[in-house]
Structure 1
Amino acid sequence: MEFATSNESPEEPGTETSDDARTTAVRAAQTASAVEAAFAAPAGSSWSRVSPALTLYNRLALAGVLLPATVIAGAVAGFALGAAWAVAVVVPLLAIGVAGWLTAPRARASWGYAEGRTDFYLTCGVVIRQLVVVPYGRMQVVDVTANLLEQALGIATVRLRTAATTADARIPGLSLDEATRLRDRLAARSETFSTGL
């Protein structure tokens, strides 16, 4: 007596078939590709990334704000309302601190800039990605700033100011040498492409 055999396993209710899973994977890949294309560097160039020291800077800045806030808020809530309220205040603040600490490398890696032929490109953001394009001719002021912590870590922020105050852009976490070179290049290009605005 012969029995018919099949390699196909019966589908369980509520599970995706392999075709559905494949289609979902293809759509996800297309969406990811479209997102990357939307935030890509200009043709013929690639993103220049900022210094890894920005990760440490962000972590130290976060700790400098959250630790005192957590201690003060916890103490006030504890004395005024009791231990349960102190815990209710401290735990969310600590969770925010841990999340910020863990995501600092990814946030640093999201920063990038590229110098196009007529425009300067800047990208940043993890949850909300952003791409800013600033024409060289619209730049009015290019400055370099570094607070005490940035100076100690050997980094600086380059800020571009344009005629439209909403279009100002900044590139944090550049090494001091690169910040100076970028400032000089952008200042020279803004004069070359000046539109008189």
Structure 2
Amino acid sequence: MEEIRERPAGGEPERSADGLQARTGPVGAADEARPGSVDDAFAAPADAPWQRLPTALAWYRRLVTSAACLAVGGGGVLLLLLWGQPLLAGVWAGLLLVAAVVLWFLAGRFQRSWGYAEASAELYLTYGVLVRQLVVVPYGRMQVVDVTADLLEQALGIATVRVRTAASTADTRVVGLPLADAVQLRDRLAARSESFSTGL
């Protein structure tokens, strides 16, 4: 393979013996957007943009995690006081307070990380803060599509659309949707599932 040389001024980029275009100069914005980057790996499909979820999902997460921290913190403090460990009780309460604050702020990041896209043949779903995930579910593989909402979700006016596929362990959820949007998404996915499974 011959050596790659710099691009002559005003000319075409030189190519190596294997026909690959030579890249010269510092890494810039064009390099960041090139295929193979992290953002490209988690990009929306070409025919459908990401649909993001409302802030009610963040408040749902904040209320759930705060209640969990309060229950665990209060129970731990009570036990430590009964065991005659007031210093440890204070440390435990402080740690749970820090955890509650961190989870409170992470709830916003969690909500902003969620998105779904209805492509022509698949449902795309992305989420994750520390670990990003991209899930692609073909419409023809969907077997059951339902809407669920616990008491807190009902109070916040949101619901979860759950998609069950042929693989029992491959269940997909679109969380935090406004109730009306969740019902409409359920109906669209159910109709597409039936159309693709019957070959229409």
How many residues of Structure 1 are paired with residues of Structure 2 in the alignment? 175
Confirm whether residue 137 of structure 1 aligns to residue 129 of structure 2. no
Which structure exhibits the higher relative contact order, with contacts defined as CA atoms closer than 8 Å and separated by 6 or more residues?
1
Distance 2:27 2:81 in 1: 50
Residue 158 of structure 2, aligned match among 155, 160, 164: 155
Which residue is 1:84 aligned to? 87
Identity among equivalent pairs (%) = 51
Confirm whether residue 103 of structure 1 aligns to residue 87 of structure 2. no
Shift of 1:167: 1.4
Shift of 1:115: 0.6
Q: Which moved more, 1:135-144 or 1:67-76?
A: 67-76
Amino acid at match of 1:34: S
Deviations 1:76-121, CA, capped at 9 Å, x for gaps: 1122141121123222222211111011111101010001111110
TM-score of the aligned structures, taking structure 2 as reference length: 0.80
Structure 2 vs 1, CA of residues 23 and 98 (structure 1 numbering), >3 Å: closer, same or farther? farther
Report the secondary structure of 2:120's partner residue: coil
Which residue is 2:73 aligned to? 70
Distance 2:80 2:120 in 1: 56
Structure 2 vs 1, CA of residues 195 and 127 (structure 1 numbering), >3 Å: closer, same or farther? farther
> Which has the larger helix fraction?
1
Amino acid at match of 2:103: G
Contact kept, 8 Å, 2:47 with 2:120, in 1: the verdict is no
Contact kept, 8 Å, 1:49 with 1:113, in 2: the verdict is yes
Amino acid at match of 1:182: L
Shift of 1:44: 2.5
Shift of 1:193: 0.7
Report the secondary structure of 1:170's partner residue: strand
Deviations 1:14-70, CA, capped at 9 Å, x for gaps: xxxxxxxx96887x9479x81110000001321001121111111111112111211
The correspondence of residues 176-195 of structure 1 with structure 2, limited to 5 A, is 176-194=179-197
Structure 1, unpaired ranges of 5+: 1-21
Deviations 1:118-149, CA, capped at 9 Å, x for gaps: 11100000100000000000000001000111
Distance 2:181 2:68 in 1: 28
Contact kept, 8 Å, 2:145 with 2:162, in 1: the verdict is yes
Distance 2:74 2:147 in 1: 34
Residue 168 of structure 1, aligned match among 168, 171, 177: 171
Contact kept, 8 Å, 1:138 with 1:195, in 2: the verdict is no
Report the secondary structure of 1:150's partner residue: helix
Contact kept, 8 Å, 2:33 with 2:40, in 1: the verdict is no
Which residue is 1:127 aligned to? 130
Cα root mean square deviation, aligned: 2.5
